[in-house]
Amino acid sequence: MKRGFSFSVTVVFSAIVFIYYCTVFIFIDRWLGLMTSPGIMNAVAFTSISFMCVLNYTFAIFADPGRVPSSFMPDIEDPGVPIHEIKRKGGDLRFCQKCSCFKPPRAHHCRVCKRCILKMDHHCIWINNCVGHANYKVFFVFVVYAVIACIYSLVLLLGSLTNDSHNDKQQSADSFRIAYVISGLLLVPLSMALSVLLGWHIYLILQNKTTIEYHEGVRAMWLAEKGGNVYKHPYDLGAFENLTTVLGPSIFFWICPVSRHIGNGLRFHTACNKLSASSTSK
């Protein structure tokens, strides 16, 4: 599948352009005035947030989520990889029949992209791409900026409406009613849906899980409890280390589209690595 523009991506870009125009040239202008200091500051702030939103969205669309090298071969004797994922049935190392290659840890085959994706989270129609190892951070940061932009725009919309109720009621109702109604119908559900999505991915990051691993973990937890055991996600390194694994070691770059820290996506630190490192340091 070719990454790039699709109908759903066009819809998203159209919504961004419409919300930006209404926010800056209607809400801010009618409430604060674009030629006043508060108006200029709000316009600059909202433009900056919108720019970062579009930038991260573009990166999420065009970035390859992670391709399994054709030469990849799991090494079961490698001491640096204490966990090897196996098939549910048979216990063999995971092998993709469609791609004719072994699957690295956390990799899954995407039926839409028709190939295996490193550390696959899900396939997202709104970016016309998979969310995986190489573009997960920019996807997450895009959602962060999108939530901020929607809530910010909604506040400006409400402020503009309040101001209009005291001035020029008839003119405001006749000239801008459609823009206010459409913006409200877009911003309210978008703010709610994106906030839920952001909360979900914050939870996943803190647990160092993907969406696929969450659903697999539910089943594994049920099987472990059935057998009298306790299941623990093997890639959970602790909340802060999980954050730095996804967003990077420097907090100043957490909301920037920089992902040089992520590695090759073929091997990941596990709780076993952490335990062995702590034991050797004693």
DSSP string, 52-118: HHHHHHHHHHHS---B--TT----TT-TT-----B-TTT-PBPEETTTTEEPPTT-EEETTTTEEET
Per the model's pLDDT, the better-predicted residue between 15 and 78 turns out to be 15
The residue-averaged pLDDT of 121-138 equals: 96
Specify the pLDDT at position 233: 84
pLDDT value, residue 89: 54
Which of the four pLDDT bands, split at 50, 70 and 90, describes residue 166? low
Cα–Cα distance for residue pair 256/242, rounded to 1 Å? 17
Q: What is the pLDDT of residue 78?
A: 59
Q: What are the backbone angles phi and psi of residue 109, rounded to the nearest 5°?
A: -85, 130
What pLDDT, on a 0 to 100 scale, did the predictor assign at position 81? 56
pLDDT given at position 176 = 81
Would you place residue 100 in the very low, low, confident or very high pLDDT band (cuts 50, 70, 90)? Answer: confident
Residue 38 and residue 30 in contact, taking contact as beta carbons nearer than 8 Å: no
Mean per-residue pLDDT, 27-32: 92
Contacts with 91 (C-beta within 8 Å, 6 or more apart), sequence order: none
More confident residue, 211 or 217: 211
Lowest mean pLDDT among 25-39, 81-95, 228-242: 81-95
Specify the residue for token string 């969205």. Answer: 57
Half-sphere exposure of 128 (CA within 13 A, CB side): 17
Model pLDDT, residue 279: 47
pLDDT reported for residue 193: 97
- Strand pairing report for 101-102 and 115-117: unpaired
For tokens 């066009």, what's the residue? 10
pLDDT at 76: 65
The torsion angle over the Cα atoms of residues 95, 72, 81 and 269, rounded to 10 degrees, is -100
- Residue written as tokens 């969406």? 211
Higher pLDDT, residue 115 or 81: 115
Q: Which of 240, 235, 236, 269 is nearest to 254 (CA)?
A: 240
4: which 2 tokens? Answer: 């790039």
More reliable by pLDDT, 200 or 78:
200
Q: At 123, give phi and psi (nearest 5°).
A: -95, 125
Alpha-carbon span 188 to 192, nearest angstrom: 6
Mean pLDDT of the chain: 86
The mean pLDDT of 92-109, rounded to a whole number, is 87
* Alpha carbon distance 52, 68 (integer Å): 29
Per-residue model confidence as pLDDT tens digits over 230-240: 778 889 999 99
DSSP per-residue codes, 227-264? TT-----TT---HHHHHHHHH-S-GGGTTSS--TTS--
Helical pair 136-164 and 239-247, crossing angle rounded to 10 deg: 90
**Percentage with pLDDT > 70 across the chain:** 81
- What does the pLDDT read at residue 138? 96
Confidence of residue 169 (pLDDT cuts 50, 70, 90): low
- pTM, whole model, 2 decimals? 0.89
Residue 171: predicted pLDDT: 53
Catalytic residues: 124
Count how many Cα atoms sit within 13 Å of the Cα of residue 57 in the half-sphere of its side chain. Answer: 23
pLDDT-based confidence at residue 93 (cuts at 50, 70, 90): confident
